[in-house]
Structure 1
């Protein structure tokens, strides 16, 4: 039971990070209005931060799998369990910070989000699998 709770907590973290990825990518205009910076600068900073986050997850996910999830093969279910938490957090963030006045149609963000939703489960599965292959050092 304790491992199941850990697995759900890790999956919830992955879902929250994905939901934040979506919300920052879709609300760059609001960030631009609030900060007064140019749209191009806010777009480039948000894309740069999200690429940095994904590169960081490349190293963090195997570490979390080895440390918290004890390198078990059951931790591969986190590549499936993140999605319900992603939907939950996306609905919560969307209802708390709704953006009704969308000025521009952002086709590029839609494409990025489409490819993200397709490749993130694969990325999560591969990095979690790498984490399951890393064994604890025994004394």
Structure 2
């Protein structure tokens, strides 16, 4: 039972690492409207935050996978579980903060970036899980 909870916590962290940049990218115009900052400044800050989060998150999840998940093959369930938590996070945020201003709608190209990220991200999780599994030897 402890392993099941640890696997879900790790999957939640995987989802959160994808969720934060996704929401920041989708809400650039909303952040602009609420803070009156320039869009170029917001974009630069978002890219810096995404880079720091991905580097820090990768290191943290590698060590967490290595320590908590004990090199089990069941670690690969996180390849599926993260997506379920991502959907849950997205639903909660969309319910709590609906788009009320038409000017806050993101560019269509943002959706293409997110589709690409959704395709590549499971490979990222697979690599971290495999490295954590190999790091046990």
**TM-score, structure 1 as length reference:** 0.87
1:7–1:75 contact (8 Å) kept in structure 2: yes
Match of 1:110 in 2: 111
How many matched pairs? 136
Match of 1:127 in 2: 128
Q: Quick one: distance in 2 between partners of 1:64 and 1:126?
A: 14
Deviation at 1:90, TM superposition (A): 0.4
Q: Which has the higher helix share?
A: 2
Question: Any stretches of 5+ residues in structure 1 without a counterpart?
Answer: none
1:25–1:47 contact (8 Å) kept in structure 2: no
Match of 2:55 in 1: 55
**TM-score, structure 2 as length reference:** 0.88
The runs of 4+ residues in structure 1 deviating greater than 3 Å are none
> 1:77-116 to 2 correspondence within 5 Å?
77-103=77-103, 105-116=106-117
Match of 2:69 in 1: 69
Structure 1 stretch 17-26 or stretch 80-89: which is displaced more? 17-26
Question: Any stretches of 5+ residues in structure 2 without a counterpart?
Answer: none
Matched, 1:6 2:10: no
Structure 1 stretch 124-133 or stretch 41-50: which is displaced more? 41-50
